[in-house]
């Protein structure tokens, strides 16, 4: 392909700046690909074609007036859990199938104000609960690398959209792994920022002490270009961190010689797919070749990450989802004889199986008599897990390992086995329990399916993670691989 790469933010931004194409042409290019390919992939719940063209024209006008920034006219897709004014926000649920928010989430608002063009809203597990995007009311998303397999979850729609070239970048959220796990399974780069780095205002809540917005893109460079516009303090989110936003693009090129990388030696020992283990070991050697120094670390309570997370996250969800009662928001059952029946019927009809399972488990864990044994104990474990990371970061700068134990599994394979589904997050949940940041970077293939390297950083160390990921991507070509979907043609340059 000649000219700027129309599938990266960097390529589109450069092409727009040189007037090689207009924002409207780029928007139409992606809308045409969505039209042609999304019936098989199901990455989008809603495509906002008219909005995209209108925003793109405004971006072109701004450029003519000399008012364009680096993101003006660059398209983006939003996970359908970020509220969007005038465009429905479904959370992948029947409960909110017709819900139109009255305002934009702060993350959406900031990207819109930076000139980005909204292509649509992407599919997800219902209320972001899941690891495969199979619990969506709108049907599963298919992995562009193998349509019979999952794209990961819960941000499977955002991941599949970017992997298939149906968007250059997409917002996503990560409560226990939902940005990094789909990134690994679709060959993308995914950043889960430090808790509080990206405003949760307008992000429909799943587990409020874990939820964090971030990005999925092809490269660390693309994430660096967009992330600064999305991150930063927001007075409308009481857990938002009041810390300066770094210049992420400026941090990309720094050499990583002397970087101290911690590796949990026991992590690759049991239960990890051999292809994943080999790719992870090779990626760590690659980083050593760039001057990093590897040392073993031990995160003593890593093995209780999954039970701790799956106690606390459902507890928070049971409380957050009580607002969907058929009265204030969402689906309302017809013909109820009493207010009690209205609540029960609306929730019975509006929520799917996994959401109900979590509300029940969470309510149980919080109930009188069980609170200390379950919720209280999990809170204490959460503290121990965070302490393990705090000690590790006294000795190392980043922690490296595999993002997932295995590459993408087959659609349907884990639907009857919630525990098997939950174990997809075994390497990612610790980061959310401790509120840290992490990135997944394409690191190779196992049986033709992409796998990811997981890099964990200390609080607010996103710039360093993007730096390490970028240096890795300059030395490797895994992020350049494209799935076997038809890539369409780049928009013609006017010459």
Instruction: Just list the catalytic residues.
Output: 79, 154, 178
What's the CA gap between 341 and 336, in Å, rounded?
6
Instruction: With CA atoms as reference, report the closest residue to 280 among 399, 408, 143.
Output: 399
Task: Provide the 10 A C-beta neighbour count for residue 132.
Answer: 30
Hey, which residues does 118 pair with through a beta bridge?
Answer: 76
* Contact flag: residue 171 with ligand GLN (CB under 6 A): no
Contact yes or no for 292/256 (Cβ under 8 A): yes
How are the residues of the chain apportioned to helix, strand and coil, as percentages rounded to the nearest 5? 40, 15, 40
Q: State which of residues 191, 313, 451, 460 lies at the interface with ligand GLN (CB under 6 A).
A: 313
Q: Which is nearer to ligand GLN, 213 or 350 (CB)?
A: 213
Contact yes or no for 211/187 (Cβ under 8 A): no
What's the CA gap between 403 and 424, in Å, rounded?
9
Task: Provide the 10 A C-beta neighbour count for residue 35.
Answer: 12
Stretch that binds ligand GLN, among 126-134, 222-230, 272-280, 462-470 (CB under 6 A): 126-134
Please name the residues in contact with 69: beta carbons below 8 A apart, sequence gap of 6 or more: 114, 115
Task: Report 202-261 residues binding ligand GLN (CB under 6 A).
Answer: 206
The answer for 475, left when phi > 0, alpha when psi is -120 to 50, beta otherwise, is alpha
CB of 125 to ligand GLN, least distance (A): 7
Q: State which of residues 24, 25, 134, 174 lies at the interface with ligand GLN (CB under 6 A).
A: 174
Tokens 């199901």 -> residue: 42
* Contact flag: residue 425 with ligand GLN (CB under 6 A): yes
* Contact flag: residue 80 with ligand GLN (CB under 6 A): no
Tell whether the torsion through CA atoms of 110, 116, 120 and 121 is positive or negative: negative
Stretch that binds ligand GLN, among 107-115, 171-179, 336-344, 367-375 (CB under 6 A): 171-179
Q: Which is nearer to ligand GLN, 15 or 193 (CB)?
A: 193
Residues 341-345: contacts with CB under 8 Å, at least 24 apart:
none
Stretch that binds ligand GLN, among 87-95, 104-112, 169-177, 479-487 (CB under 6 A): 169-177
End-to-end CA distance of the chain: 16
* Contact flag: residue 330 with ligand GLN (CB under 6 A): no
Q: State which of residues 56, 95, 111, 128 lies at the interface with ligand GLN (CB under 6 A).
A: 128
Q: State which of residues 130, 156, 330, 352 lies at the interface with ligand GLN (CB under 6 A).
A: 130
Q: Which is nearer to ligand GLN, 74 or 179 (CB)?
A: 179
CB of 143 to ligand GLN, least distance (A): 16
Q: State which of residues 143, 154, 346, 467 lies at the interface with ligand GLN (CB under 6 A).
A: 154
Q: State which of residues 118, 178, 186, 404 lies at the interface with ligand GLN (CB under 6 A).
A: 178
Stretch that binds ligand GLN, among 97-105, 170-178, 333-341, 475-483 (CB under 6 A): 170-178
CB of 354 to ligand GLN, least distance (A): 8
Q: Which is nearer to ligand GLN, 208 or 493 (CB)?
A: 208
What's the CA gap between 82 and 124, in Å, rounded?
11
CB of 207 to ligand GLN, least distance (A): 8
Q: Which is nearer to ligand GLN, 299 or 313 (CB)?
A: 313
Task: List phi, psi (to 5°) of 441.
Answer: -125, 135
Site string for ligand GLN, 268-307 (x = CB under 6 A): ----------------------------------------
Tell whether the torsion through CA atoms of 120, 122, 123 and 129 is positive or negative: negative
* Contact flag: residue 308 with ligand GLN (CB under 6 A): no
Q: State which of residues 46, 143, 175, 403 lies at the interface with ligand GLN (CB under 6 A).
A: 175
Stretch that binds ligand GLN, among 59-67, 111-119, 125-133, 471-479 (CB under 6 A): 125-133
What's the CA gap between 151 and 170, in Å, rounded?
14
What's the CA gap between 128 and 156, in Å, rounded?
10
* Contact flag: residue 129 with ligand GLN (CB under 6 A): yes
CB of 17 to ligand GLN, least distance (A): 35
Preceding omega of 154 cis (within 30 degrees of 0): yes
Eight-state DSSP code of residue 262: E
* Contact flag: residue 177 with ligand GLN (CB under 6 A): yes
User: For residue 4, how many C-alpha atoms fall within 13 Å in the half-sphere facing its CB?
Assistant: 23
What's the CA gap between 153 and 171, in Å, rounded?
13
| Interface ranges with ligand GLN (CB under 6 A) | 128-131, 154, 173-178, 206, 313, 425
């Amino acid at each position: 392909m000649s000219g700027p790469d129309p599938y990266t933010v960097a390529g589109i931004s450069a092409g727009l700046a040189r007037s090689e194409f207009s924002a409207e042409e780029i928007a139409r290019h992606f809308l045409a690909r969505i039209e042609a390919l999304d019936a098989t992939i199901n990455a989008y719940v809603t495509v906002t074609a008219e909005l995209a063209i209108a925003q793109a024209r405004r971006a072109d006008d701004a450029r003519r007036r000399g008012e364009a920034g680096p993101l003006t006219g660059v398209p983006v897709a939003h996970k359908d859990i970020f509220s969007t004014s005038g465009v429905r926000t479904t959370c992948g649920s029947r409960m909110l199938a017709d819900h139109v928010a009255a305002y934009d989430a702060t993350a959406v608002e900031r990207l819109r104000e930076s000139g980005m063009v909204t292509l649509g809203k992407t599919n997800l597990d219902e209320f972001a609960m899941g690891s495969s995007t199979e619990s969506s009311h709108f049907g599963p998303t298919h992995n562009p690398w193998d349509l019979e397999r999952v794209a990961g979850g819960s941000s499977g729609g955002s991941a599949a959209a970017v992997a298939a070239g149906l968007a250059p970048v997409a917002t996503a959220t990560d409560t226990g792994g939902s940005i990094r796990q789909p990134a690994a399974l679709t060959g993308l780069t995914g950043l889960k920022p430090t808790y509080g780095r990206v405003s949760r205002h307008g992000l429909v809540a799943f587990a409020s002490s874990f939820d964090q917005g971030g990005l999925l893109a092809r490269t660390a460079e693309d994430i660096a270009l967009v992330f600064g516009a999305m991150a930063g303090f927001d007075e409308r989110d009481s857990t938002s961190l009041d810390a300066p936003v770094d210049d992420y693009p400026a941090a990309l090129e720094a050499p990583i010689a002397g970087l101290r990388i911690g590796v949990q030696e026991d992590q690759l020992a049991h239960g990890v797919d051999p292809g994943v283990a080999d790719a992870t070991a090779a990626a760590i050697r690659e980083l050593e070749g760039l001057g990093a120094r590897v040392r073993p670390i031990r995160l003593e309570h890593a093995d209780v990450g999954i039970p701790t997370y799956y106690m606390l996250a459902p507890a928070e969800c049971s409380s957050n989802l009580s607002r969907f009662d058929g009265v204030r928001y969402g689906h309302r059952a017809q013909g109820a004889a009493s207010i009690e029946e209205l609540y029960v019927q609306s929730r019975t009809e509006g929520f799917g199986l996994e959401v109900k399972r979590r509300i029940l488990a969470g309510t149980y864990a919080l109930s009188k008599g069980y609170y200390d044994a379950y919720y209280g104990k999990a809170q204490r474990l959460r503290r121990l897990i965070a302490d393990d990371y705090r000690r590790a970061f006294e000795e190392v700068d980043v922690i490296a390992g595999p993002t997932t134990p295995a590459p993408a599994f087959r659609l349907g394979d884990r639907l009857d086995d919630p525990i098997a589904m939950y174990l997809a997050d075994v390497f990612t949940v610790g980061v959310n329990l401790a509120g840290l940041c992490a990135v997944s970077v394409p690191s190779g293939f196992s049986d033709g399916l992409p796998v990811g390297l997981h890099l964990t950083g200390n609080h607010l160390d996103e710039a360093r993670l993007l730096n390490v990921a970028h240096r890795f991507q300059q030395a490797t070509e895994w992020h350049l691989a494209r799935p076997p979907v038809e890539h369409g043609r780049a928009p013609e340059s006017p010459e």
